[in-house]
Structure 1
Amino acid sequence: MTQSSLKSFRDTLEAIVVALLLAFVIRAFIVQAFKIPSGSMLETLQIGDHLLVSKFAYDVRLPSDIWLDTTDGKVLMKTGDPQRGDIVVFLFPEDESKDFIKRVIGLPGETLEVRDKVVYINGQPLDEPYVMHTKADTLPVRDNFGPVVVPEGEYFVMGDNREGSYDSRWWGPVKRSKIVGKALVIYWSWGSLTDIRFNRIGTLLN
């Protein structure tokens, strides 16, 4: 191998290593890609939407596979708290190997109740323009729930597709430490190879 070929090989190898390190840092600390697998967040999120999730919206933390003392990762700095209406990705309480995505509805310390499909926070009806209802019937738990007080350090989350979402109404609030991050933007969307939803690409989520 000539001197110039060796230099070119080293330069290429260095570029690959730097790119891999940057990808690791971005994935571990900054953003995570997430694909919508179900219709629980319709109409806001469609099956086949691909999202970028901010991992530093609420905390800056070491990844759990680096910080071995806890499955949640060590928090280096708190950057904010989840707010009502935030769309968040979190570790599913019944199986933490799975990521779930829902909307924050109830904050710590609030009293939450669902009456005839309407959510009440501290006795006041909540304005929810994002909600989709697909069934007219009413069922216990799904459409009439509570009242319950959301524990400190936990968040009550629900899907926008209220009759098609398995959420805090069944398995309880989500601990703040289990929230991975906040959904920011749709970077890709398709229903199939022949159904690319160009109009959804770049949509900011709120």
Structure 2
Amino acid sequence: MNPKWHEVLREWVEALIFALLLALFIRSFVVQAFKIPSGSMLQTLQIGDHLLVNKFLYGIKLPFTDITLFSVSDPEFGDVIVFEYPKDPSKDYIKRVIGLPGDTIEVVDNHLVRNGQAVDEPYLAGLPPRNPMVRTHFGPVKVPEGHYFMMGDNRNNSMDSRYWGFVGRDAIVGKAWRIYWSWASLLDVRWSRIGSLVE
């Protein structure tokens, strides 16, 4: 093999290895891309939204484990987060933090009551019709230490902590950050959503 080609090939291989390691580092510690497959977070998140999740904000984990090396901050009430589904940790879910450790949570006639106070939830505007199987009354329950109570913004059609319980701190992947792509179909790109923050 021509020595010059050998050098070029070596440089390409080194660049590829570096790029793969950098991508692994970013995905493990900084941000990760997710796609919204269902309508449980309507109207905040649409089916077909693609978003970046900040994995650094809630702490650094040892790659491929739930072991937290150190914590940066804790989830706050109202954060939209990605977490491992408690019934099947191989699946990632996305919901809104409704209850923090120590909170008492109740749903009365489909309205959230937190620590005895009714909560104004503007993100619930424009909900689709209610699924008759969805619970409009729930609790009260107290959120255990080290756990969080999660609910979908599409309160009328969301399987969430009302059904499968609390989410442990170590199961949290990160905070939903920004929509980088959105489409309803190949020919229907939602340009106005691209680049918007998830709130």
Task: Please give the TM-score of this superposition, normalised by the length of structure 2.
Answer: 0.94
Deviation at 1:2, TM superposition (A): 2.2
Give me the whole-angstrom Cα distance separating, in 2, the residues matched to 1:7 and 1:111.
65
Aligned residue pairs, count = 198
Per-residue Cα deviation, 1:92-144 (whole angstroms, up to 9, x for no partner): 111111100000011110111111111011111111100143336987x7211
SS at match of 1:53: strand
In structure 1, the residue matched to 2:166 is 173
**In 2 relative to 1, CA 2–136 (structure 1 residues): closer, same or farther, beyond 3 Å?**
closer
In structure 2, the residue matched to 1:76 is 69
SS at match of 2:156: helix
Deviation at 1:173, TM superposition (A): 1.2
Deviation at 1:3, TM superposition (A): 2.5
SS at match of 2:113: strand
Do the aligned partners of 1:60 and 1:78 also contact (CA within 8 Å) in 2?
Answer: yes
Do the aligned partners of 2:84 and 2:91 also contact (CA within 8 Å) in 1?
Answer: yes
Give me the whole-angstrom Cα distance separating, in 2, the residues matched to 1:184 and 1:32.
10
Do the aligned partners of 1:30 and 1:56 also contact (CA within 8 Å) in 2?
Answer: yes
Confirm or deny that 1:4 pairs with 2:4: yes
In structure 2, the residue matched to 1:134 is 128
SS at match of 2:93: strand
Which residues of structure 1 form unaligned runs of 5+? 65-70
Q: Report 1:1-206 matches (<5 A).
A: 1-64=1-64, 71-72=65-66, 74-132=67-125, 133-135=127-129, 142-206=135-199
**In 2 relative to 1, CA 137–41 (structure 1 residues): closer, same or farther, beyond 3 Å?**
closer
Which residues of structure 2 form unaligned runs of 5+? none
SS at match of 2:22: helix
Do the aligned partners of 2:179 and 2:194 also contact (CA within 8 Å) in 1?
Answer: yes
Do the aligned partners of 2:54 and 2:175 also contact (CA within 8 Å) in 1?
Answer: yes
- One-letter code aligned to 1:99: D
Give me the whole-angstrom Cα distance separating, in 1, the residues matched to 2:28 and 2:104.
35
Percent pairwise identity: 59
Do the aligned partners of 1:112 and 1:146 also contact (CA within 8 Å) in 2?
Answer: yes
Give me the whole-angstrom Cα distance separating, in 2, the residues matched to 1:138 and 1:17.
53
Give me the whole-angstrom Cα distance separating, in 2, the residues matched to 1:113 and 1:54.
29
Do the aligned partners of 1:138 and 1:144 also contact (CA within 8 Å) in 2?
Answer: no
Per-residue Cα deviation, 1:61-96 (whole angstroms, up to 9, x for no partner): 1113xxxxxx52x21111000001111101111111
- One-letter code aligned to 1:135: P
- One-letter code aligned to 2:175: K
**In 2 relative to 1, CA 200–79 (structure 1 residues): closer, same or farther, beyond 3 Å?**
same
**In 2 relative to 1, CA 76–113 (structure 1 residues): closer, same or farther, beyond 3 Å?**
same
